[in-house]
Structure 1
């Protein structure tokens, strides 16, 4: 209900120091682009080699030196089913340390507005669809990414705790499956959509007779272009102030098979698509209820077809410089 949404903050100062943690990643780079387009002229960021966010002393020193007024925490260790299943310790430990260090340093240095970004994987595996914000902590998580999810849940709770104890208007947003420029297209670390883009482009280039994808192709997923997310983030920073995390998505979902067929058509792949049903599907469906986001005044604009076409074009232009 609209009464549950709390509005107020107002326009952010375009000249204030704005720290985007993870400014070179998929999400952080999109947020930086959106802020620049909106006229922010004091955006700061540090690469992981310049500032290891897992180092508490270094993070506190950085905040003490730069004194940002606004912060978006988009830095995280992320990956697909394979990476999450293989390295759960790193996904839990690294993300907990990043969050604790940044949020604690931000609180100590009186950061006025902070947006913590999580993921839709925080919700129970069998949450009623579409998933409402109040489904959090009501059931078991998807085992293939539970370590990452627990870390993100801890971040949400820390933001809520800061609001209660210090009265700071910090907020959290939980995006659905994201894709777009600066995504991870590596075979071992990518999420499903960039993995499919790379697979079909390579198959088209070599004229392979078939492409084999994991699972059955039947799970349903919601996808959001990262430029849409960045637009939503700025909107929420200026128009939302409440303790509850807000879902950010398109409000529609498709099967993995449909995504694969769309990508195959976009890259003009003529071969056969096969499905390895010995591999895991993950959560059967993950569609977010974005009604509260709509009440806060924002809806997505980039269609999946358009977003895939733009991402394929970007990948082709940057393939020589992408990480493996």
Structure 2
């Protein structure tokens, strides 16, 4: 068994690999990203200062408004979702909380939040300040980056009030839980179909699937037409271009087990780069690993306002990468353009 890396070992590796992203460096070292960050607590060398802070959303989220305009980042293993805006109304909840705002719109699952850090880092482009939050396995849930337009005067008072008494570079992380693959209960297909027909809100779907001993992906595989249509994974790039060309507004969800972030609006500038499919707009960026997409579905769920039709992508392990719905321009919009975009996507062979 290899000897565990000390904080000094981790800091040295970070100093020797300044060109690597933290997530990639942590993977190469066989540690979590949270352990990589924590190793710098109490060490001010190399122009980097890390402070351990409170991690519970109830303590953090209401205070973020003071920072003004920031960039909020949420990711999973296959997709990065970056949104510029100001943190506005925070609504607490023991199982699910949320931030509701014109630009920063998130859903938060507090039980998964385990570590928080405030980081100041001298870079060739100047001082970078971020707040970073991780789950029990040390995987990033949300990162908040201050910008030139942020209220930097609020930074230190925020760190002071959130700072923990214990400032140790050592943290203990749990093994990363495996991704839940598709759960199918073939004997319950008729019940699934009848329950699906009776949906009045998209949020009812997960409860329906769970009650029948299934999960989202399992239910999609089992239900079939007319509720679900399987799409070629390669069609996602074309979908992005078509959506951009049509100036179709969308509601795009990307998340992990502790945090979901939502973009409302258009997808204007599509830039594929190697395996990455990118949306590079002034206040919204998306970075999607096209080569990670294993299954894609057009999903039709009935609601009180009419059908909610989404495009949803999964990785090879069955993990949800993203969900995308059409956004109505106004109350008279029947989303015909959105439905047309999805109807013309090629089916999986």
Alignment TM-score, normalising by the size of structure 1: 0.25
Which of the two has greater helix per residue?
1
Select the structure of larger CA radius of gyration. Answer: 2
Alignment TM-score, normalising by the size of structure 2: 0.24
Higher relative CO (CA 8 A, sep ≥ 6), structure 1 or 2? 1
Which of the two has greater strand per residue?
2
